[in-house]
Amino acid sequence: MNYEILSGIKNPADIKKLNNSEINKLCKEIRDCIIDTVSKNGGHLASNLGAVELTVALHRTFNSPEDSIIFDVGHQCYTHKLLTGRFDRFSTLRTEGGISGFMKPSESEHDPFITGHSSNSISAAYGIYRAKKLSGQSGTAVAVIGDGALTGGMAYEALNNAGAGKSNFIVVLNDNKMSISRNVGALSRSLTKMRNKPKYHYFKFALNKFLLKIPFGKYINSLIVKIKEAVKSVIYRNNIFSSLGFNYLGPVDGHNVEAIESLLKIAQSYNRPSLVHVITTKGKGYSYAESSPKNYHGVSPFDIDEGATVVGNLNFSEVAGNALCKLASVNPKVCAITAAMTSGTGLSEFAKTYKNRFFDVGIAEQHAVTFCGGLAKGGMKPYFAVYSSFLQRGFDQIIHDCAIERLPVCLLVDRAGIVGEDGETHQGIFDISYLTSIPNIEIYSPSYYEELEYLIEKSVDANCITAIRYPRGCEAQNKIPLDYEKEFSVVGNNGKTAIITYGRLFCEALKAQSQSDDFDIIKLNKVFPLSQDLIGTIANYDNILIFEETIKNGGIGEHLISMLCEISWNGRFEIHAIENKFVPSASVSSALKSNGLDSDSMLRSIKCQN
């Protein structure tokens, strides 16, 4: 494709030299580039197409990197990357060794903070803003938060804190779904239309400036503001942002660069916090994404002319959702909870079939866990389906609101282990380490669909927290019959060397065993707590190697070696897990290989033992 203007943008200052016609052409080229790249690499499409003009307006108004612009969730930052010197590398988006699909400070000075998860932008931006002021640095910090991320409680904690400050800190709300204030009547509509005209804002700014120069002007201006706020409170009713101390500006058309710039400049003129409300359309400029933004939020590679197709292969998420539907059909106490990930966690059918027992709490994992605790306390059977990396936010609530009282909440931990191209912020490699530190919890990690179904059915009778963790994608084809009622299974009869593993890596171990019978496999059907029967069995081996798709620190390997030491076992023990590091973007297979967790790595380790 020919990117006549975009190819010439080396830094944000370049777009300030463009006229309106050139800006419109630039926005078109940006959309074409995003669609073309995502169609090849996969990624977040609809959210980025909707934020093109907004991002252009931000960079025309502010001066990055002197002014820190933080996008939340960071998956709406593709335009930002293209405008900050990364056009030449944009084709490497979300590939191994390429640029990240999220903001990443190590990648560019224009990415001031990492934002792979949601609802942290206001906290981070306000912290950076205060640091600049305290240290005498020039520049400001701006938080750009989506309406979805605004459902996270952390965002409101930050708004409450920042709103109390007497400074011109700016938050931009990228609203592509909901209305914040309910406007009533013809007068309300007329005022909204007037407030969004650039001339109105320039007139208001000029009037304020004039009044402050004349005698008693300060008092006149204060009176005007009070009258205006009183009228607004009647017409617009309560506005949560105004109540929190922010000067509310908008809403404004999020696809009109000039209008957004005007409102941002007005926000810069105030000496108190401002929130600029921008209305955008997800998927803007690509008909398939505009008509079905939900399906084009995160996509795999697709044909641009035909649109993205839904892959029909069954996956672990769908199996979990189907199993919950089956369980709910015979047990009226079964409830399903999600944190804004209905389709991603396979709960679409449950939401449709059992509406009164389905709860989407928004991007609020902390609330979700405690809400589940309340449901369990009331006699229901709650199942919280959540990505492993997102569950991290609910750690405190798992301890205090569920585990202490031994409430039977079931955590369906989706995307456990390596997830691939989304990179460091999304890899599900920490849940084992932090969950095993909590009393009154049982952890399982199925290798097959039928095992997942069995565990979900069994968990309805649990008397403590149950965590069932499973990987992204499909089950492996090399299946063997197993007795899932047992806490562990032994495959082979070598008797001297054993690989201990669980979850997806069990299938890698089977693949290795098909090439060599020099070892047994001990599959942990119940990952934690570890039983004395298991310790007694593995103590009979001379050489033990554990492979686990999780961080090494606090993993099952460390728990095992501790228990073996207690019985004075004197064999050889090796832990093969992810060292104390974060795992960058790469395909699942490549990441497993580079971390020594694939079948070939297992075979090499066995040969070293022998």
Are the CB atoms for 53 and 27 separated by under 8 Å? yes
**Where do the DSSP E strands lie in 470-551?**
488-491, 497-501, 520-524, 526-528, 543-551
> How do 298-299 and 334-338 pair as beta strands?
unpaired
Alpha carbons 427 and 138: distance in angstroms, whole number = 36
Helix (H, G, I), strand (E, B) or coil at 124: helix
Q: Which of 97, 92, 82, 106 minimizes the C-alpha distance to 27? A: 82
Active site residues: 282, 365, 393
> What's phi and psi for 605, nearest 5 deg?
-65, -40
Alpha carbons 373 and 368: distance in angstroms, whole number = 9
- Residue 539 CA: distances (Å) to CA of 436, 566, 610: 22, 11, 18
- Alpha carbon 587 to its chain centroid, in Å, reads 18
Q: Which of 605, 431, 609 minimizes the C-alpha distance to 527? A: 431
Write down the residue that tokens 């609203």 correspond to. Answer: 175
State the amino acid at position 94 in one-letter form: R
Helix (H, G, I), strand (E, B) or coil at 87: coil
Alpha carbons 235 and 251: distance in angstroms, whole number = 15
Helix intervals (H) in 304-430: 316-330, 348-353, 365-377, 388-391, 395-397
| DSSP secondary structure code for residue 395 in this structure | H
Query: What are the structure tokens assigned to 5, written together?
Result: 């203007």
Helix intervals (H) in 280-429: 287-291, 316-330, 348-353, 365-377, 388-391, 395-397
Q: Give just the sign of the alpha carbon dihedral 247, 248, 253, 255.
A: positive
Count other Cβ atoms within 10 Å, centred on residue 266. 20
- Residue 14 CA: distances (Å) to CA of 10, 165, 325, 395: 7, 33, 54, 45
- CA contacts within 13 A on the Cβ side of 348: 7
Q: What is the DSSP string of 28-39?
A: HHHHHHHHHHHH
**Where do the DSSP E strands lie in 111-191?**
141-146, 170-175
Alpha carbons 386 and 367: distance in angstroms, whole number = 13
- Residue 414 CA: distances (Å) to CA of 9, 323, 344, 525, 588: 40, 14, 9, 17, 15
Helix (H, G, I), strand (E, B) or coil at 237: coil
- Residue 437 CA: distances (Å) to CA of 317, 397, 398, 402, 410: 26, 14, 11, 14, 17
